[in-house]
Amino acid sequence: MPGGILEELSSAECVRLLGNRGVGRVGVVVDDYPIVVPVNYRAIENDHGFVVIVRTQPGGVIDRALNVGFQVDGLDAVHHVGWSVLVRGVLGHIDDGDVALLSTEIDPEPWVAAQTSWLVVRPTAITGRRLRAMDVEWAFSLHAYL
């Protein structure tokens, strides 16, 4: 069925959806051009607020970034439905004293062994959208098919 309904997600729903994934994308601007890089991550919500923790290679483009976009989505290409969450925020390094706690509590399990730089995205905005299928109105009674 072509068409669908695009709806805005609440901040709470965005945070919930971020907690269900382990791979996202960080977008940064390098030499006046945007680049997007996949990363392993964990979404953390506690008394101090909500943050996204990522691991990357030391000295890489993400490791040197300041203002970033972080995006995660879930898609069902067969049914043409899905969702997308965008976190815009400030990226910073995690202090060495916190790394031991992080590695035992929330390790994002990097797929590349050289990813030893721990970073945190502190959100300035969290937005999301969901595309859902239109409700189907049947032209015939369901009983006709039984």
Helix (H) or strand (E) holding 5: strand 4-8
Calpha distance 68→80 (Å, rounded): 28
Q: Count the residues in the chain.
A: 146
Please tell me the distance from the alpha carbon of residue 126 to that of residue 88, in angstroms, as a whole number. Answer: 6
49-56 and 67-76 as β-strands: parallel, antiparallel, unpaired? unpaired
- Model pLDDT for residues 60-104, shown as the tens digit of each residue: 888 888 899 999 999 888 888 899 999 999 998 886 655 554 555
Q: What is the pLDDT of residues 25-40, one digit of tens each?
A: 999 998 899 999 998 8
Q: What is the pLDDT of residue 140?
A: 55
For the domain covering 4-145, report its CATH number: 2.30.110.10
Q: Which of 69, 53, 70 has the alpha carbon at shortest distance from 117? A: 53
Of residues 101, 122, 128, the one with CA closest to residue 53: 122
User: Is the pTM value of this prediction over 0.85?
Assistant: no
| Domain edges within the chain | 4-145
CB within 8 Å of 67: residues ≥ 6 apart: 28, 88, 89, 90, 91
